Amino acid sequence: MSEFAFPPGLIMILGAFLIPFVSDARRSLLVMSLPILTLALVWLLPDGSNLQIGFLDYSLDPVRSSTEGRLFATIFSIMAFAGGLYALKQARTIELTAAFVYAGAAVGVTFAGDLITLFIFWEIMALGSTLVIWAAGTHSAYRASMRYLLVHLLGGVILMSGIVAYVIETGSTQFVAMTADSTATWLILAGFLVNAGAPPLSAWIADAYPEASPSGTVFLSAFTTKTAVFALLVGFPGTEILIWIGLYMVFYGIIYALLENDMRRILAYSIVNQVGFMVTAIGIGTEMALNGAAAHAFAHIIYKALLLMSAGSVLMMTGKRKCTDLGGLFQSMPLTAFHGIVGALAISAFPFTSGFVTKSLETSAAAHEGLALVWMLLLAASAGVFLHAGIKFPWFVFFQKDSGLRPPEPPVNLRMAMWIFSFLCIAIGIYPDPLYAILPYAVDYQPYTIDHLVTQLQLLLFAGFAFFVMLKMMKRTLTISLDFDWFYRKFFKELTEEFSIHASVAQKSMERRMKNRVESIISNLYRHHGPTGILSRVLSTGSMVMWVAILLCLYLLSYYF
């Protein structure tokens, strides 16, 4: 057993419970130091199982270090640091506590060597993220958090059912690559996909994330869906159905993001879209594709958080989140606009940004495997990403027709967090070798080739041209986009209420019939046993003696004959 066998995620989980009990100055130090300590321990752990615990008849591996786990744990720790810095001055204490429990549980998942440990941290994540949403303190946030919790409890039940069945089938709890060829593994796959935002439950992301506080949404964007990507990458690489599930997510996210008016819902749908790229790459399953999914997840956490930091800063300073209420903010919030543009370029895979050197691994993997249709769809989706996140978000928030709003820049800690992630977006794009060096497999790939640069620039320029040509169609109105969550927010609610009404009527009818029957029985009993009943009449002693004599004679006769 290694001397560094302490689970890294527990540093943030246990440290989170100290946050409510320390002074403001110490709280700042604690929030900044917990992710750094976690990151240090992540890199001190050697590869392999470093801690094993006996549980019933099984051996659990709560600390198993792997290349994939270290990569995801690294970016989760960086995200916790920048997210904590962004949230430091304005987040409620309960939000900070829940966010660090949430982040620590995500790190715990990446080091889980067995399915039971994975499930425990998985459910801690669900509780922590629910509290992050609830901590916004609004009625809509409370309702969204309850819907969010129900979806993830459903996913947890499915996952646990699969784990129990898998352990019964195989006799092992080890979290290793599986094949979706049994009920158990299909249930485990479905449990992972719920957290990834796969159909038909993709809508929980856009339903819940925008209702959190500005800092809460930043935390939420990073962990749940990316731990699902990690779990799929380790558990189901090369599962072909993931290609088509991922492609559905890619275009679903694009279409709804283009239709959306709320800037944070635009970016929430964009999360589904981006995770779809990763799920598709995992389905392809080659070393290049899996490297692409891991690298894309790493870069995505950074630039998506940066976009949501920019959007959260706008929301905090203006109190508005709809594109129809915003515009012209670059005049008074130039730094926020700059960071939003950097994030928009990175998510669009613009050359010399992190998206360019990571997402291209996925499309190249599809091309190398001869998956022409998948390759073309991924290229088309890249243009769609530029439309909704690369141009639509910064254009309508910062540059469209002047809204007359002149808010100041956000507080300094928010600006510092955005500077950190803007730097990383550009630094990774210019010099990707450090990221490539920690990917699961050796990388033999050069993103900056003439054909790749020309192809990507052509794609982005024509997508941008199409946006401005169709600008009138792109302008949003005060509408609401109906998604699958309509079924459990509206339809199932109405169905339940209608069922309750009819069930109440049926219950009252049954109660009335039962009451009538009981009253009839009581009436019959009263008729026979009441004061005037035949069994309650007063008879003379002589009459009773005569009846006793008659019965005795009948008994004697029956005895002799």
Q: Which is nearest to 397 in space by CA: 465, 461, 341, 350?
A: 341
Which pLDDT score, from 0 to 100, does residue 15 have?
Answer: 94
Which pLDDT score, from 0 to 100, does residue 506 have?
Answer: 81
Token reading at 196: 């990834």
Rounded to the nearest 5 percent, the helix, strand and coil shares of the chain are: 75, 5, 20
End-to-end Cα distance, the chain: 95
DSSP 53: E
pLDDT in tens, the chain (561 residues): 444 478 899 999 999 999 999 988 899 999 999 999 999 999 998 887 777 787 777 778 889 989 999 999 999 999 999 999 999 888 899 999 999 999 999 999 999 999 999 999 999 999 999 999 999 989 999 999 999 999 999 999 999 999 999 999 998 899 999 999 899 999 999 999 999 999 888 889 999 999 999 999 999 999 999 999 999 999 999 999 999 999 999 999 999 988 888 899 999 999 999 999 999 999 999 999 999 999 999 999 999 999 999 999 999 999 898 888 888 899 999 999 999 999 999 999 999 999 999 999 999 999 999 999 999 999 889 888 888 788 888 888 898 888 888 899 999 999 999 999 999 999 999 999 999 999 999 988 888 989 888 888 888 888 888 777 776 766 666 677 777 777 777 777 777 777 777 777 788 888 888 888 887 887 777 676 666 666 566 656 777 778 788 888 888 888 776
Rounded Cα distance, 116 and 127, in Å? 17
Which pLDDT score, from 0 to 100, does residue 2 have?
Answer: 43
Which pLDDT score, from 0 to 100, does residue 233 have?
Answer: 96
Radius of gyration in angstroms for the set of CA atoms belonging to the chain, rounded to a whole number: 32
pTM score of the predicted model = 0.86
* Cα dihedral sign, 210-215-220-221: positive
Dihedral-angle region of residue 405 (phi above 0 means left; psi in -120 to 50 means alpha; beta otherwise): beta
Instruction: Please name the residues in contact with 255: beta carbons below 8 A apart, sequence gap of 6 or more.
Output: none
Burial of 489 (0-12, 13-18, 19+ CB in 10 A): middle
Token reading at 322: 């709809």
Contact 120, 111 (CB under 8 A): no
